[in-house]
Amino acid sequence: MEPIPYGRQHITSEDIQAVTETLLSDYLTQGPKVAEFEQQFAAYTGAKYAVAVSNGTAALHLCALALHVQPGQRVITTPITFAASANCVRYCGGEVYFADIDPATALLDLRAVRRLLESYPKGHFHGLIPVDFAGLAVDLEEARKLANEFGLWIIEDACHAPGGSFVDSQNREQRCGNGQLADLAIFSFHPVKHIATGEGGMITTNRHDLYERLLKLRTHGITKDPVQMARNDGGWYMEMQELGYNYRMPDMLCALGISQLRRADEGLMRRRVLAARYDAAFANVAAVRPLAGAPGHAYHLYVIQVPDRKRLYDALRERQIFAQVHYIPVHTMPYYQRLGWNPGDFPLAEAYYAHCLSIPLFPSLTDEEQQYVIDSILEIVRT
C-alpha cells in the first residue's frame, strides 16, 4: 500500500494541458485567464465579484486592508483555525480576540461571541472572522445579526468550504462565499484544498466599493482607470493612490484553477461519499467520535476525536497512514501568548485539540485505501 496522506491534490491530463497552453501564450501573468477564473469562481459561489490573489493568506490580508483594519481596532475569530485567519488582523496592527468553539462542530460558537460582545461597551469591536471549519458552513445568518447589532464587518474564511452551504431561516440555500451575509469571503487553492493550483486564493464579495479597493490593493495600490485618476499625462500614465502589494495570481495558475473548478462538484460528491462511509464505520464505536455532519458540509476534513490521539497518530504512521491535527489552538501559539493569551483561556477549543485527528479524505482516495484506513483505526482503538 502506498503512503496515504490526510489530503492531496488531484491533477488530470486536462489540467496539465490547460497550464501548458498558457505557457505557450503571450501571458504568464495577468492575461485573460485571471478574469475568466474570477468570473467562473464568482458564478460557482453565487457572489457578484471575485478577485484572484496569490494565496489565501494574501486574500485575508487584502480583506483586512480593504476594511481599514488599523491599530486600536479589535477583531474576533476562532482559536480552531489556521493562524492566517488571525494573523491578517495583526498585519494591519489590529488586535485579535478569540471566543470559544461549539464542541459538537468545532466551529466558533456564536453564543460565546455574543457574550464577548456584550461584555464590552458597543463599538469596542470592529470585525468578525468566522471559519467554515472542516467544510461545515458557519451560521452566517446569526453572525450577520450580531454584526448588525454591534456594528461589525464579517470576513468569512471559507478556505475549507467551496461548494458548501447551509439553509437559512427562510429556507434558502446560502452557499459559502455567496456574498449575501458576509462582507467578504476568502478561499485558498493550496494543494490540500478542494481546488488546487499550488499557491492561489480568491476573495468574493457583493460590495462594489470593496471590489474596487481590492483590485487596487492587489497591485501596489495602482490604478489606470481614468475615472479614478487625479490627472492624466498620457497613455502611459497610472497612479499609485495608496500603499498596496503585489498579490496577483499568475495566468498559468488561473488556467489550472479553471480546469480544477470544472471538477469541483465531482470532487465534492466524492468527499461526501467517503465521509458517509466513515460515518457508518464509526457509528457504533464509542472510542471514535466524529464531528457532527450536516447536509451542506463540504468535507475538506474528516475529523474524529479519540481518547488517546497521540497513540492513534503514531500507530497510523507506522501503517503509512499520515493523519494530521487541525488545529493547534491559535491563542496557545507562542506569538499569541506574547500578546497576552494563555493556555486555559478557551477550554473547549483546548479539549477538542487534545483529542482531534483529521483522517485521510480527498477525492482520489480509493475505496480500498479507505477500507484500510477504517480497519487500521478500529484495530488500533480496540487494542
Ligand X SMILES: *Cc1c(COP(=O)(O)O)cnc(C)c1O
**Longest Cα–Cα distance in the chain:** 77
Burial 216-251 (b: 16+ CB within 10 A, else e): bbbbbbebeeeeeeeeeeeeeeebeeeebbebbbbb
Could you give the angle at the alpha carbon of 264 between the alpha carbons of 261 and 270, nearest 5°?
160
Give the amino acid at 95: E
Measured from the CB atom, the residue of 218 and 376 that comes closer to ligand X is 218
Give the active site residue among 33, 48, 122, 193. 193
Burial of 157 (0-12, 13-18, 19+ CB in 10 A): buried
Measured from the CB atom, the residue of 155 and 374 that comes closer to ligand X is 155
Question: Which residue, judged by CB position, is nearest to ligand X in the bound state?
Answer: 56
| Distance of alpha carbon 91 from alpha carbon 169, whole angstroms | 36
Residues that bind ligand X (CB under 6 A): 55-57, 81-82, 84-85, 131, 157, 159-160, 188, 190, 201
Find the shortest distance in angstroms from Cβ 187 to ligand X.
8
Measured from the CB atom, the residue of 54 and 178 that comes closer to ligand X is 54
Find the shortest distance in angstroms from Cβ 279 to ligand X.
22
The answer to whether the CB of 48 falls within 8 A of the CB of 41 is no
Find the shortest distance in angstroms from Cβ 157 to ligand X.
5
Measured from the CB atom, the residue of 89 and 281 that comes closer to ligand X is 89
Find the shortest distance in angstroms from Cβ 175 to ligand X.
17
**Residue 145 annotated in active site:** no
Q: Is 279 helix (H, G, I), strand (E, B) or coil?
A: helix
CB within 8 Å of 217: residues ≥ 6 apart: 62, 65, 66, 242, 244, 245, 247
Active-site residues, by number, are 193
